[in-house]
Amino acid sequence: MKTYRFKVEAEEPFFNTALLDSIKNEVKDEKRQRAFTNKVNAKTTKMHSEILADFIRPLQRELEEIGVVFNRKTSLNHTNTYHQSYVDILFADFSSSEVRIVGISEGNSELSKYTTFYGKYAIRVNGTKVHNCDDVLKFLRGNIKNHLIETNK
C-alpha cells in the first residue's frame, strides 16, 4: 500500500474591522438624522396646527352663527412625523370642504437627508391654495348659499 502525503495552504480569513466600524458609524449617523428630522417635524406639526387654528378662527366665528360645523383634525398619514392639520367644514346640505395646512419641504439639508419641514407652509381649500379668509369665503360661496337655503336663514 502506498501513502500519499500533501500539504494544503490557505490564507487565513481576514476580518476588516474598519469596514464594520464604518457601517456602524453610518447607522449611528442615520439614527441621529432621523431623530433630528422627527423632532423638527413634530414641532412643525404643532406650529402648523396653531397657524391653521388662528387662520380659520374669524371665518369659523361667522359661519358657526349660521349653523356651519367645523371639525379640526390631524391627518393619520405622515412624513417623518410631520402630520398635516386640516378642518372639515360641514354644511346643512351634507356637502363639505376641507381647509388644510400643507408643509413645504425645502429638500434635504446638511443636517438630515430625510424630508424635514422647517415651517414653510401653504393653506389650501380642497387642494386650491388660498392666502386669506376672503379667498376661503370666495371658494365656499356656493356651499354657503346652499347652506342658507337649506336652513332658511
> What is the pTM for the complete model shown?
0.80
Mean pLDDT over each residue of the chain, to the nearest integer: 90
Split at pLDDT 50, 70, 90, the class of 110 is: confident
Q: What are 1-23's pLDDT values in tens digits? A: 777 777 777 777 777 788 888 99
HSE-CB at 38 with a 13 A cutoff on CA atoms is: 7
Question: What CA–CA distances, in Å, run from 17 to 14, 68, 82, 90, 116?
Answer: 9, 66, 38, 62, 33
pLDDT at residue 81 in the model: 87
Cβ atoms within 10 Å, residue 37: 23
pLDDT at residue 111 in the model: 86
Question: Which residues are registered as beta bridge partners of 129?
Answer: 124
Q: 83-91 contacts: CB < 8 A, separation 24 or more? A: 83/45, 84/48, 85/45, 85/48, 85/49, 85/52, 86/52, 87/52, 87/56, 87/60, 89/63, 89/140, 89/143, 91/143, 91/144, 91/146, 91/147, 91/150
Q: What are 70-97's pLDDT values in tens digits? A: 999 988 878 888 999 999 999 999 999 9
Split at pLDDT 50, 70, 90, the class of 54 is: very high
Domain boundaries, the chain: 17-151
Q: What are 125-151's pLDDT values in tens digits? A: 999 999 999 999 999 999 999 999 999
